């Protein structure tokens, strides 16, 4: 069993398939030093994967087996291990990322030449890229009809849970022989932090159980947009490393919904919709692989972006002078995670207020997020930049002040992340540049020194963005009602 982004023993399609061959299964993970050295990988996700691998090894050792941890070229390492163990088959769960799919095809070919058969299984999404299609048999590009069909398919024939593999199906530790220790992030030049999400299979199940049972899921509709509250599940880093499967989340969600009051049921169903968004973007990436490097919408290639590195750097550091944007970026930089509402706000700010290419933001997120996932990240960025499938129309430009007033009304989240603004009262917390010099002294902040003045004026930036977008995407978006704040 070649583990990749499915670091769990429960509800794992390829692992179960491997165990049904009536042979002993050896679980293997290959560390790729080239991938780990790439600028598309950051400390939070590396820490997640290493801690999930360590926990998985403990589980396997508890069964008298082990995790075979290897390092180097995938086909070389898998081929040599298979030959040493006398294994004829390698099972894995397939990916949706174009680059990984190409790599897997190469690995498969090379292993085939060595007489080893590979088996790629669908496990990452609940429904695969070719299972939810329009009447014409084509992939959906719009979420709402996709979701409708997804739900029909689920309620007609939900994919069943994958049974757990019995402990005696695993190859013994002695037969596996010597393997590498799980490295520390520092071994590959990454820093670690106790503030990053804790990622492993037991933690994932605990999180889901708590979320569904302690009233969080039942109040999801009411709380999910407020970053100062724990209103969402926090499962994204677990789903990224695969310490929990999407089937488990959806099935448990529907079970909880069935037993809940009507209001709680619709809140839980709203949460399940977010997992459907996950499937939606996975199928977009698989069916339209060009999105990995280009806008989904061809016309958007003509957008003229600013290459203002100073502004980009201020955005990355959380020093734009807009408190909600800066607090969000500091959450990302400190915790390796950012609340969804804030992801939408900072992405709109980068692509519209600063007119900086969404791909710069996408890459930055990739390195800072423990849940960095090409499909969801790309989907989120292209949505915000109005270049994607089902994207926000280009004239929907979030006002950072209005968003802040609406979703962090008392500035609780801002003050937590920006202690320099702690003394600023509610009336000014969303727009501290309105303080008079006397008030600055009174509230203990010197603007331009302790906290920056805004790097752009939102009203002017909005006009600039409209002028840049209108000639490129104007025709496409005509007919969509203009509304600044009504996005999801
Ligand atoms: C610009 C931008 C970038 C994003 N980058 C990522 C990313 O790299 N990885 C990632 O997992 N999500 C990404 N998202 C989606 C979303 O922000 C996170 O999934 C969510 O904040 C994770 O928190 P949670 O687990 O508490 O979510 P919950 O609200 O509890 O949702 C449950 C699960 O549903 C899925 N989900 C929720 N929202 C979305 C969405 N909009 N698109 C796809 N799946 C979703 C996630 O797997 C999430 O864990 C991005 C959104 C935007 C706007």
Q: Are the C-beta atoms of 396 and 390 separated by less than 8 Å?
A: no
Assign domain 298-476 to its CATH superfamily.
DNA Cyclobutane Dipyrimidine Photolyase, subunit A, domain 3 (1.10.579.10)
Name the token pair of 82.
């298979």
Task: Please tell me the distance between residue 236's alpha carbon and the centre of ligand 1 in angstroms.
Answer: 6
Residue nearest to atom 49 of ligand 1 (CA): 236
pLDDT digits (tens, 9 = 90+) for 10-52: 999 999 999 997 779 999 999 999 999 999 999 999 999 999 9
Which of 230, 236, 284, 342 has most ligand 1 atoms within 8 Å of its beta carbon, as the pocket-test mutant? Answer: 236
- Say whether 305 is catalytic: yes
Side-chain-side CA neighbours of residue 217 (13 Å): 31
Residue 483, pLDDT > 80, answer: no
Residue 448, pLDDT > 50, answer: yes
Name the token pair of 240.
């990224």
Task: Please tell me the distance between residue 173's alpha carbon and the centre of ligand 1 in angstroms.
Answer: 38
Task: Please tell me the distance between residue 387's alpha carbon and the centre of ligand 1 in angstroms.
Answer: 19
- Say whether 340 is catalytic: yes
Catalytic residue among 358, 360, 366, 377: 358
pLDDT digits (tens, 9 = 90+) for 356-365: 999 999 999 9
pLDDT for residue 44: 98
pLDDT for residue 169: 95
Which of 210, 274, 292, 358 has most ligand 1 atoms within 8 Å of its beta carbon, as the pocket-test mutant? Answer: 274
pLDDT for residue 477: 61
Query: Cβ–Cβ contacts within 10 Å for residue 459, how many?
Result: 8
Could you give the C-alpha distances from 226 to 83, 195, 217, 341, in angstroms and in order? 54, 20, 14, 7
Task: Please tell me the distance between residue 373's alpha carbon and the centre of ligand 1 in angstroms.
Answer: 9
Q: How many residues does the chain have?
A: 488
- Residue 485, H or E segment: none
Q: Are the C-beta atoms of 356 and 363 separated by less than 8 Å?
A: no
Short-list 474, 309, 279, 293, CA closest to 395: 474
pLDDT for residue 355: 98
Looking up tokens 């100062």, which residue turns up? 228
Band (485; pLDDT cuts 50, 70, 90): very low
Distance, CA of 143 to chain centre: 18
Domain limits, CATH 3.40.50.620, in the chain: 1-124
pLDDT for residue 478: 54
Catalytic residue among 131, 287, 333, 340: 340
pLDDT digits (tens, 9 = 90+) for 79-118: 999 999 999 999 999 999 999 999 999 999 999 999 999 9
> What pTM does this model have?
0.96
Residue nearest to atom 26 of ligand 1 (CA): 234
Task: Round the average pLDDT of the chain to a whole number and report it.
Answer: 95
pLDDT digits (tens, 9 = 90+) for 136-174: 999 999 999 999 999 999 999 999 999 989 899 999 999
Name every protein residue with a CB atom under 6 angstroms from any ligand 1 atom.
224, 232-236, 239-240, 274-275, 277-278, 281, 340, 343-344, 347, 365, 369, 371-373, 376-377, 379-381, 384
Residue nearest to atom 6 of ligand 1 (CA): 377
User: To the nearest whole percent, how much of the chain has pLDDT over 70?
Assistant: 97
Q: Which atom of ligand 1 is nearest to the CA of 238?
A: 49
Question: How many helices and strands in the chain, by DSSP H and E?
Answer: 22, 4
Short-list 30, 18, 158, CA closest to 93: 18
Task: Please tell me the distance between residue 340's alpha carbon and the centre of ligand 1 in angstroms.
Answer: 6
Query: Cβ–Cβ contacts within 10 Å for residue 475, how many?
Result: 10
Domain limits, CATH 1.25.40.80, in the chain: 125-162+200-287
pLDDT for residue 488: 34
Can you tell me the distance from the alpha carbon of 403 to that of 83, in angstroms, rounded to the nearest whole number? 58
- Say whether 381 is catalytic: yes
Domain limits, CATH 1.10.579.10, in the chain: 298-476
Task: Please tell me the distance between residue 227's alpha carbon and the centre of ligand 1 in angstroms.
Answer: 14
Q: 1-124 maps to which CATH number?
A: 3.40.50.620
pLDDT for residue 88: 95
- Has domain 125-162+200-287 been given CATH number 3.40.50.1220? no
Residue nearest to atom 36 of ligand 1 (CA): 274
């Amino acid at each position: 069993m070649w583990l990749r982004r499915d670091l769990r023993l429960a509800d794992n399609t390829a692992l179960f398939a491997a165990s049904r061959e009536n042979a002993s299964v050896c679980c293997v993970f290959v560390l790729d030093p080239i991938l780990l050295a790439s600028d598309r990988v950051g400390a939070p996700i590396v820490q997640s994967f290493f801690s999930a691998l360590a926990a998985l090894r403990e589980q396997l050792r508890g069964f008298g087996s082990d995790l075979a941890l290897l390092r180097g070229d995938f086909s070389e390492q898998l081929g040599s291990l298979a030959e040493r163990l006398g294994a004829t088959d390698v099972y894995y769960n397939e990916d949706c990322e174009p680059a990984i799919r190409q790599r897997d095809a190469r690995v498969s070919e090379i292993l085939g030449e060595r007489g080893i058969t590979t088996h790629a299984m669908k496990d990452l999404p609940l429904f695969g890229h070719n299972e939810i299609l329009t009447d014409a048999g084509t992939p959906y590009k719009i979420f709402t009809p996709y979701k409708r069909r997804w739900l029909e398919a689920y309620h007609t024939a939900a994919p069943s849970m994958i049974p757990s593999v019995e402990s005696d199906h695993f190859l013994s530790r002695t037969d596996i022989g010597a393997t590498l220790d799980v490295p520390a992030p520092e071994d590959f030049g990454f820093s670690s932090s106790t503030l990053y999400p804790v990622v492993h299979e037991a933690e994932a199940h605990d999180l889901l159980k708590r979320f569904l049972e302690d009233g969080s899921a039942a109040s999801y509709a009411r709380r999910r947009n407020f970053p100062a509250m724990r209103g969402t599940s926090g499962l994204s880093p677990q789903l990224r490393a695969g310490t929990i499967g999407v089937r488990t989340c959806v099935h448990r969600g529907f079970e909880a919904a069935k037993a809940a009051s009507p209001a709680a049921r619709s809140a839980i169903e709203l949460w399940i919709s977010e997992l459907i968004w996950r499937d939606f973007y996975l199928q977009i990436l698989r069916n339209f692989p060009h999105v990995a490097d280009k806008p989904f919408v061809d016309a958007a290639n003509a957008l003229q972006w600013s290459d203002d590195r100073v502004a980009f750097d201020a955005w990355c550091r959380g020093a734009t002078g807009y408190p909600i944007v800066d607090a969000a970026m500091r959450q990302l930089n400190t915790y390796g995670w950012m609340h969804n509402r804030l992801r939408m706000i900072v992405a709109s700010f980068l692509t519209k207020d600063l007119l900086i290419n969404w791909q710069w933001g996408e890459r930055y997120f990739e390195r800072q997020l423990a849940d960095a996932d090409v499909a969801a990240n790309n989907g989120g960025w292209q949505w915000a930049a109005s270049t994607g499938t089902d994207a926000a129309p280009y004239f929907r430009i979030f006002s950072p002040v209005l968003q802040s007033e609406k979703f962090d009304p008392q500035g609780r989240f801002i003050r937590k992340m920006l202690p320099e603004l702690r003394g600023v009262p509610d009336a000014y917390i969303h727009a501290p540049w309105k303080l008079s010099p006397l008030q600055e002294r009174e509230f203990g902040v010197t603007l331009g020194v302790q906290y920056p003045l805004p790097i752009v004026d939102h009203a002017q930036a909005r006009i600039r963005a409209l002028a840049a977008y209108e000639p490129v995407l104007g025709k496409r978006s005509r007919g969509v009602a203009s509304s600044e704040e009504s996005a999801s």
